[in-house]
């Protein structure tokens, strides 16, 4: 900190006092100190602001985040791994971010802090989006970047609780944030009208987005900087956002995966133990641009709890908390694949948002519970055979491949990756959860 204090001496800094957590029983007062003005605006967009002068006066930060993108760490002096660092000290209640201007590090640092604190109070902290139906039925969407968490939760027929980080207490689901941080590369005005509209609203921060310096028109299809283009905006910019940022206990949990191997079904019904197996596994495919060093082709990955870098406790700690809440509130669990059909990446095509929405609507409304199911031969979960508005070749991935043998070979390869990955977590898991994995 001495070197950082020396670096910041004489420089203008920007300070925002905010809260993390819409539920006042669990909210964390935080202070964001930033070197960049737009990072300060980002904090105002992404966190919950005091409503009155009196609230500001009484605000005492329990954690402070200092973002200094111009400061480089010296590994030989500061004991950092690289010049870029995010350091959290729970005893000093301090987080320092250096040598990166990526605004997402600010929100994820606060999320990491709450991933430690909230579960100690019996609150499930989740890397998820959440929305609520007209009948008050909440739904949680777990998923990594690129799986459709933000897109699918921004449903015009349901109220948006939040798009990325939530807590689940004994009172229900609440948003940790006050804004959204949407990926906007190749954003479609037709398929994602609510999110697209925010890119034209005053106060929205467009990060890494290419624009014409003369006309100031943005090009959301231009990936010359990176595919990880983002828009930060207050939750209220989504027309059907829930003002309280809170909802009741969920009726449905959706585990989102983007399967680039093209073998997983578009939707499957899970038992509690199967849901925990998938939750601990956190399978998806990293999309080019979201992760540094990737080429164009997606890369298979497992990120435990759908957010491994932000999870402080052992995965079994979060899984046990999730199990107790699923069983207590009788939640339906679903695995939804937003990846490829008809073949792996480069051969097949990605499932359309239209078809995924139709499947989700059927699941959330309860209609899909009454469909005919078949047991998946590898993973053992139940797969519906039909759904209104979804073609048969989408419902049955094997039928859309050129060869059933090639499909099963690829499916068994994926299953083996699941088994190999899960060995790291078996010591902390029950026999029932271990047995809920794929059979090879």
Q: What is the mean pLDDT of each run of 10 residues along the chain (440 residues)?
A: 93 98 97 98 98 96 98 95 96 98 98 98 98 96 93 94 97 97 93 94 97 95 93 96 98 97 96 98 78 62 96 96 98 97 90 96 96 96 96 90 93 97 94 94
Residue 353 lies in a domain: yes
CATH code assigned at 221: 2.170.8.10
Are 318 and 343 in a shared domain? yes
Residue 139 lies in a domain: yes
Give the β-pairing of 250-257 and 138-142.
parallel
What are the C-alpha distances in Å from 271 to residues 171, 268, 276, 326, 379? 24, 10, 9, 10, 12
Are 294 and 331 in a shared domain? yes
Question: What is the reported pLDDT for 292?
Answer: 46
CATH code assigned at 348: 3.90.228.20
Are 332 and 269 spatial neighbours (Cβ–Cβ below 8 Å)? yes
What is the rounded CA–CA span in Å between residue 356 and residue 197? 22
Are 315 and 427 in a shared domain? yes
Residue 190 lies in a domain: yes
Question: What is the reported pLDDT for 400?
Answer: 86
* SS3 state of residue 160: strand
What is the rounded CA–CA span in Å between residue 160 and residue 244? 10
Tokens 């900087």: give the residue: 225
* SS3 state of residue 235: helix
Are 49 and 135 in a shared domain? no
Of 103, 120, 137, which residue sits at a domain end? 120
Question: What is the reported pLDDT for 290?
Answer: 45
Are 56 and 86 in a shared domain? yes
Buried-state track 26-62, b at ≥16 Cβ within 10 A, e below 16: bbbbbbbbbbbeebbbbbbbbbbbeeeeeeeeeeebe
Residue 19 lies in a domain: yes
| Percentages (nearest 5) of helix, strand, coil residues in the chain | 35, 25, 40
* SS3 state of residue 412: helix
Residue 55 lies in a domain: yes
Are 390 and 358 spatial neighbours (Cβ–Cβ below 8 Å)? yes
Give the β-pairing of 382-384 and 28-34.
unpaired
Are 314 and 378 in a shared domain? yes
Structural domains of the chain, count: 3
Are 428 and 286 in a shared domain? yes
Question: What is the reported pLDDT for 191?
Answer: 86
Across 315-371, the runs of DSSP E, i.e. the strands, are: 332-337, 340-341, 349-350
What is the rounded CA–CA span in Å between residue 35 and residue 40? 8
Residue 397: both structure tokens together: 């991935």
Are 114 and 168 in a shared domain? no
Are 429 and 423 spatial neighbours (Cβ–Cβ below 8 Å)? no
Structural domain boundaries, residue 15: 2-120
What is the rounded CA–CA span in Å between residue 181 and residue 165? 10
Question: What is the reported pLDDT for 296?
Answer: 62
CB atoms within 10 A of CB 186: 13
At residue 15, φ and ψ (nearest 5 deg) are -125, 130
Are 378 and 254 in a shared domain? yes
Of 101, 120, 139, which residue sits at a domain end? 120
What is the rounded CA–CA span in Å between residue 9 and residue 68? 12
Residue 440 lies in a domain: no
Of 219, 237, 255, which residue sits at a domain end? 237
At residue 384, φ and ψ (nearest 5 deg) are -65, 145
What is the rounded CA–CA span in Å between residue 130 and residue 420? 31
What is the rounded CA–CA span in Å between residue 74 and residue 11? 21
Are 219 and 211 spatial neighbours (Cβ–Cβ below 8 Å)? yes
Are 255 and 344 in a shared domain? yes
What are the C-alpha distances in Å from 33 to residues 78, 85, 394? 21, 16, 49
Are 370 and 416 in a shared domain? yes
> What is the residue-wise DSSP string for 61-100?
-SEEEEEETT----HHHH--SSSSEEEEETTTTEEEEES-
Are 143 and 206 in a shared domain? no
Residue 52 lies in a domain: yes
CB atoms within 10 A of CB 328: 10
């Amino acid at each position: 900190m001495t070197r950082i204090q020396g670096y910041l001496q004489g420089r203008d800094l920007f300070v925002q006092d905010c809260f993390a957590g819409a539920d006042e029983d669990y909210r964390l007062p935080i202070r964001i100190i930033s070197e960049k003005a737009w990072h300060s605006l980002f904090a105002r967009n992404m966190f919950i602001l005091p409503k009155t002068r009196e609230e500001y006066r009484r605000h005492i930060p329990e954690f402070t985040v200092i973002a200094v993108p111009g400061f480089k760490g010296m590994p030989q002096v500061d004991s950092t791994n690289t010049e870029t660092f995010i350091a959290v000290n729970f005893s000093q209640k301090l987080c320092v971010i250096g040598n990166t201007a990526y605004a997402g590090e600010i929100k994820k640092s606060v999320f990491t802090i709450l991933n430690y604190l909230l579960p100690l109070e019996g609150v499930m902290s989740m890397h998820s989006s959440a929305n609520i139906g007209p009948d008050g039925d909440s739904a949680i969407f777990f998923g990594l970047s690129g799986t459709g968490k933000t897109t699918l939760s921004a449903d015009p027929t349901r109220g948006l609780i939040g798009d990325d980080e939530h807590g689940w207490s004994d009172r229900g689901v609440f948003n940790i944030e006050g804004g959204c941080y949407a990926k906007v590369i190749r954003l479609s005005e037709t398929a994602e009208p609510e999110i697209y509209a925010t890119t034209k609203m005053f106060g929205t921060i467009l990060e890494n987005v290419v624009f014409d310096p003369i006309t100031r028109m943005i090009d959301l299809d231009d990936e010359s900087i990176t595919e990880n283009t983002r828009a930060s905006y207050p939750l209220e910019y989504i027309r059907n956002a829930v003002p309280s940022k809170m909802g009741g206990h969920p009726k449905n949990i959706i585990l989102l995966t983007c399967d680039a191997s093209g073998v997983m079904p578009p939707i499957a019904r899970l038992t509690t133990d199967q849901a925990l197996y998938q939750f601990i596994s956190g399978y998806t495919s990293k999309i080019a641009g979201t992760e540094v060093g990737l080429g164009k082709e997606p890369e298979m990955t497992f990120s435990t709890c759908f957010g491994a870098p932000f999870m402080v406790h052992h995965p079994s700690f979060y899984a046990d908390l999730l199990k107790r809440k699923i069983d207590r509130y009788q939640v339906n669990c679903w695995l939804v694949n937003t990846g490829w059909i008809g073949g792996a990446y480069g051969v097949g095509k990605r499932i359309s948002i239209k078809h995924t929405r139709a499947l989700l609507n059927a699941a959330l409304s309860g209609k899909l519970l009454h469909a005919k199911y078949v047991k998946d031969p590898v993973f053992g979960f139940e797969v519906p055979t039909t759904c209104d508005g979804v073609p048969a070749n989408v419902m049955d991935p094997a039928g859309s491949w050129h060869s059933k043998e090639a499909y099963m070979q690829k499916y068994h390869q994926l299953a083996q990756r699941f088994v190999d990955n899960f060995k790291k977590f078996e010591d902390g898991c029950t026999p029932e959860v271990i047995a809920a994995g794929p059979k090879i």
